Amino acid sequence: MTSAKHILPVLCVSLLLSACSTTSSNKQFVVVPPSESQIENSVKEQVSLTLNAFTPVAGQAIPNHSVLEAYESRGYEPIWIKDKKINMSLYKLVDILEQSHAHGLNPIHYHTSIIKEYLAIKKPTPQQLAEMDVISTIALTSYAHDISNGRYEPQLIDPNWQLDAPSNNWKDLLFLDSATDMVNSLQLLSPRSPQYQVLQKWLVYYQDLAKKEKDIFVSAGVPLSLGDSGPRVAQLRARLVQLGDIRFSTRKVNEEEFDSRLKEALMRFQYRHHIMADGAAGSKTIEMLNVPLETRAKQISYNLERWRWLPSELEANRIWVDLTDYTVNLHLNGELTSMKAVIGKPDRKTPVFKGLMTYMVTNPTWRVPHRIARENLLPKLQADPNYLIKHGYKVYSSWGIGAKELDSTQINWKAIDEDKLAYRFEQEPDEGNALGQYKFMFPNKNEIYLHDTPAKHLFREENRAFSSGCVRLENPVEFAREITKGSKQYNDMNNSLKNDSNTVITLPTYIPVYLVYFTVVPNANGMLEFRSDVYDRDTLMEEAMGYSPFSAGDSI
């Protein structure tokens, strides 16, 4: 159902349109074609009026100021009308806007029905032409912005989402010589990432499939496995065909028999849904199989929007912390180094942001963040006053530079309220240090970094959200070697490790770090992985977007 917040701008213009329509009961009334100056004067009058009807709503980032700049730069000359005729590129623009659902955007945001109403007027007045020109430019501008930078402001959706890399390149098309050039430039604005392009094709597939076919669901029951037979096996096979895990084949099969080919297809499905790939359809697998096509289309659209919040082109050398995959991928000098990672717990989410890794520390001292000291360390001290001594911690009177070291056994920890804890705690470098032997730094306001850990057993888990926010590396030795390889810093690092010294090492090359969160990702075979939404961020996307675009038919 369309919400009122989305209808309001359209109703404003609809009323404006109906009020300005040229009608007369006098059969002798003749409409004189408007002059160029009449249209230009009307455009100038209508720009502010019409822009006010399209004010930003909620988290939508509607770039109205750019529309005003575009008209001012051309002396309010109309963009879509030339020699008293409507430029044919406007019709092409309407077609593009009506297909915006293919990018996970909603055509209703681009006023296509309103523009088509104006186009249908046989003898428009100067005011109607001006209104059509301005509304069309608003639609063009909004779409250009949205396809390049994203429709919504990410931090209004999720304060922990701090990765927003807006580009102003999309504005350039507003200053091109012709409307034709503007429209033709739209296709260059979407993200260049191959992953975005694959996601977009799958979105269209799911949208089209959901319109043409009903979901094929697998009935609840006992787990299905190799050798089973019956109508539920036929449902399983049909659903895997529908989802693309079984390719169409002319080979005749017994639809109700669970054979080896069906097992292989089911294992492919399980792999890409991060389920244990045992080739048997248990309750979790059936639950994933029965997620409706329309729901999957919405999930894809959320992730297309997330791609638009990233830079349109990524650096060749970068560190890609893939939070939903619990992995860190180091792209450096044409080589890829990947390893497992542990990320923040759901109540201590690792934020999404971009940083620049500039240095590393060997044998680091861990200065315990204040929150962790209050929530984790204080309760342990209240239970055991000798906890700090046993685990290699020192305590200081405050966070100031000249703070005095204190004897932890002389402090009455039970008398200290969590909210009034003001001490600074530091864990000395040793094999039990929470940071291990390495800390990799990309200075940021969140105090998040990559580091080693003594808790190696956690890397054996499938879902690895166990930290207090920082990212722990499965193989920090390899990571350190790769980012210093062939440099003087590589020798400095090795010497510091031999001497057990706490050493700060500036990296020979600074490396961009992306901490990203995607719940739908194309795998190496071009199929989609649907991942667990460990931080419930898809729920926030659904709430912010109101409803997900599904087809051009949704447009008013």
- Residue 335: phi and psi, rounded to 5, are -115, 150
- C-alpha distance across the termini of the chain, in Å: 11
Contact in structure between 311 and 324 (CB atoms under 8 Å): no
CA gap 449, 367 in Å, rounded: 13
User: What one-character-per-residue DSSP string does 236-273 give?
Assistant: HHHHHHHTTSS----S---TTB--HHHHHHHHHHHHHT
Sign, Cα dihedral of 108, 109, 112, 113: positive
Residue from 101, 103, 111, 470 carrying the catalytic annotation: 470
The b-or-e profile of 160-196 (16+ CB within 10 A means b, else e) is: bbbbbeeeeebbebbeeeebeebbebbeebbbeeeeb
CA gap 246, 446 in Å, rounded: 45
Which two tokens mark 488?
């003087």
Which two tokens mark 326?
């619990």
With H, G, I as helix, E, B as strand and everything else as coil, classify residue 432.
Answer: coil
CA gap 271, 268 in Å, rounded: 5
Which H helix or E strand runs over 540?
helix 537-545
Residue from 20, 391, 451, 457 carrying the catalytic annotation: 451
Q: Cα torsion for 204, 206, 208, 211, to the nearest 10°?
A: -150
Active site residue 470: yes
Please state, in angstroms and as integers, the Cα–Cα distance from residue 384 to each residue in 389, 397, 413, following that order.
10, 20, 9
Task: Give the catalytic positions in this structure.
Answer: 451, 470
